[in-house]
Amino acid sequence: MNAQRLLLDGTVNTLPSDIIENIIWRLPTEEIVRASILSKQWRYNWTKIPKVVFVEHLFAKSTDENQLRLIEQSFGEPQSEMKKGPLVDFTFSMWDMWDTDSKYLVEIDQILLHLARKNTVKRLHLRSGYDFPSSIFSFHQLTDLHLDGCSIKNTSTFNGFGSLTTLYLEDIDYIYKEALMNFLSNNPLLKCFTILTRDHDSIVISKNDVYGTINDLFQCLPVIEHLTLSVRNFKRFHSEVMIPQEVATSLVHLKYLCLEEMDFVVVVNDCLRYLLLMIRSSPNLEKLKLQMMWESSNDCMDLYYDTTQNCLDIWLEHLIELEIEDFDNTKPELEFVKLILAKSPILKNVRLKVYDMDEEVKLLEAQLPSPRASPNVVIIAKHGGKEHVILHRSN
C-alpha cells in the first residue's frame, strides 16, 4: 500500500506515533515526500528517518502554478515548525536537470544549511553540477563524503571534519591541487580515498600551488587503507622531473590499491613507473586492481624491461589478489603478471578480464604457469559472464 492510500485510510492517523514512524521508515523516499504534501500531520515526518535520498526523477514534474514544487514543499516552511530527527544519511542527486540559473541552486543551499544546523548527517552524497558548497564545511559529524560532478576551488578556511574516514570524488569538473591537498591534510583519519576525474586536466595547478612532491601527498594520507585513483592524474600531484624509485613516507596501512587508466605503452605518462612506485610504497598491500586503458604492443618490451630492471628487491609478502580489467594479452602485461607471481608468496587469486576468451586463454595457458612464489595461486580468465581457470591451486 502506498502513502496516498495510507492517508486516505483515516485509521492510520489514529495509530500510536511509534507505529506511524515505523511505517514511515519502511516507505521509499518518494512516497514519504508525497505523503508530506497530502497531509500536514505527516509533512515533516520524513526528518525522522535515518536515510533520505532526493533524486531528480522525483522532482522533475511541477504541480500547477498555484503550488510549490515537491522539493520546495518539503523544505519551504520556517525552521521552527520542522520536527527534529536523527537524519544520518543524505543523498541529493540533481545532475541532468541542473541549471546554474535555476532555483535548484538556491534550494540545495537551503537544504544543506538546514542539515548543517541539525549537525546529525554522517554520510553525505552530493551529485550536482556546481561549485562545492561551503556549507558542507559545517557538517562536523561526517564520516563519509561522496561528491560527484562538483568543482572544488577553495578550501583555505577549512579545518577538517574531525571524523571523516571515506572521501569519494567522482567526475570532478576541476579541482585546484592546492585545495585538494589542503582538504586531505585536514582530514588525517581518512582510510578510504577515491578520486576519479573526467580527464587528466581536472586537477588544476594554480600559481599559488605550494605542494610539489609525492611525499606531500602520502603525508596527507597517514592511515589510508583503500586508495583508488587514475594513474594519469597521479603525476599532477607532484612537480618532480624524475619519478623516484621509493618515497620517504610509505603507505604502511594500505591494503587495497586500484589504479585506473593504466597503460604500459605511452612513455610520456610513465604509468608503469608510477605503478611500481606505489607497490614499493605499500609494504602491506593485500589487493591490487588495475584497469588498463590502451592496447599494449610487443614492440614496447624495451620500455618494460628498462622500467622493471631494478625490481629485484620488491617482495609482496601480503598480496592475496591481483585483478586486471581489459587485460591485453601481449608481452608487457604478461610480463607484469609474471613479475607479481614471482614476488607474491601468499597470492591466492589472479583475475584477468580479457577481450577474447578463446584466443587469449591459449596464450595464457602457455605463458603463465611460469615460476611462482605461491603454491596456492589460482589464475582465472574472465570474459562477459564466463570464467576459465588457467591454473589451479597446487595440492
CB 280 within 8 A of CB 315: no
Higher pLDDT, 229 or 203: 229
d(CA 234, CA 124): 26
d(CA 93, CA 59): 11
For residue 215, is it left (φ>0), alpha (ψ between -120 and 50) or beta? alpha
Give the three-state DSSP class for 25: helix
Question: In this prediction, what percent of the chain has a pLDDT beyond 70?
Answer: 65
pLDDT of 201 higher than 90: no
d(CA 50, CA 240): 46
What's the pLDDT band for 193 if we cut at 50, 70, 90? very high
By DSSP bridging, strand 378-383 and strand 386-391 are: antiparallel
Higher pLDDT, 179 or 288: 288
Query: At 130, which amino acid appears?
Result: Y
Closest listed residue to residue 77, CA positions, set 121, 118, 114:
114
Q: Where are the domains of the chain?
A: 1-48, 50-211, 254-395
Maximum mean pLDDT: which of 92-96, 205-209, 385-389: 385-389
pLDDT of 204 higher than 80: no
What's the grid cell of residue 374? 605461491
Q: Residue 137's pLDDT is what?
A: 87
User: What's the pTM?
Assistant: 0.81
What's the grid cell of residue 285? 598491500
What is 50-211's CATH topology?
3.80.10
d(CA 231, CA 223): 20
User: What would the pLDDT profile of 219-274 be if each residue is shown by its tens digit?
Assistant: 999 999 999 988 777 766 665 556 777 778 899 999 999 999 888 776 555 788 88
User: What would the pLDDT profile of 311-367 be if each residue is shown by its tens digit?
Assistant: 778 899 999 999 999 887 677 888 889 899 999 999 999 999 988 787 778 778 877
Give me the count of residues in the chain. 395
